[in-house]
Amino acid sequence: MLDVIKRLVPTGIKQKIRLAQVRKKFGKKIHSIVPLTTRLGKDVAIGQAVEIFMDDVEIGDFSYINRYSQVYSGKIGKFCSIGYGVRIGLPEHPIDIVSTSPKIYRNIKSQDIKDVYSPPVIGNDVWIGANAIILQGVTIGDGAIVAAGAVVTKDVPPYAIVGGVPAKVIKYRFPDSTIVKLLEIKWWDKPEEWILENVEKFSNVDDFIRFVEEAK
């Protein structure tokens, strides 16, 4: 009887009920239906029409995902900015059999052949521009920037700026010595109260590092 009632409920109402369930668990900053098993950190914001496909996706504190993005698999760190229309961790078809068509390999009964998943890892304080694509298995380092429209096929070093198809390093945000110190500080792991109290120090990277070192 319950199944009959569920079928009679219009799809739009079902979606509203589902979204209400998601917001009850994750908060009002979620504007898309996501799996309830998704691991969301504090104050994560998810825009309209964002799709999260796999149950084990993890998104860190204070990160946001803009509208029309898709996250198939992977881990996203803290304070990340994911732009409009980004695609992360797209599944890959098997390439070592006769055909790459799902119509073929999903119907092979003698073997359990599935789409290939190797979840990407996106570090902390990463900015990914609109319509970028992050392929399977890559790691994007802390503080990196991915230009709009880039296709990331290989690991991105911390604080690198990459762009193009395939994405290549354009430059680094800071000198090597500064990057080493920022990676040692790991400000994104500090308590929210500390970050808010000292947010003015973030405006100058040298002053910020000096402040942290003097406070030790």
Catalytically annotated residues: 93
Instruction: Tell me the DSSP string of the chain.
Output: -HHHHHHHS-HHHHHHHHHHHHHHHH-TTB-S---TT-EE-TT-EE-TT-EE-STT-EE-TT-EE-TT-EE-S-EE-TT-EE-TT-EES--B---SSS---HHHHTT-SSS----B----EE-SS-EE-TT-EE-TT-EE-TT-EE-TT-EE-S-B-TTEEEETTTTEEEEESS-HHHHHHHHHH-GGGS-HHHHHHTGGGGG-HHHHHHHHHHT-
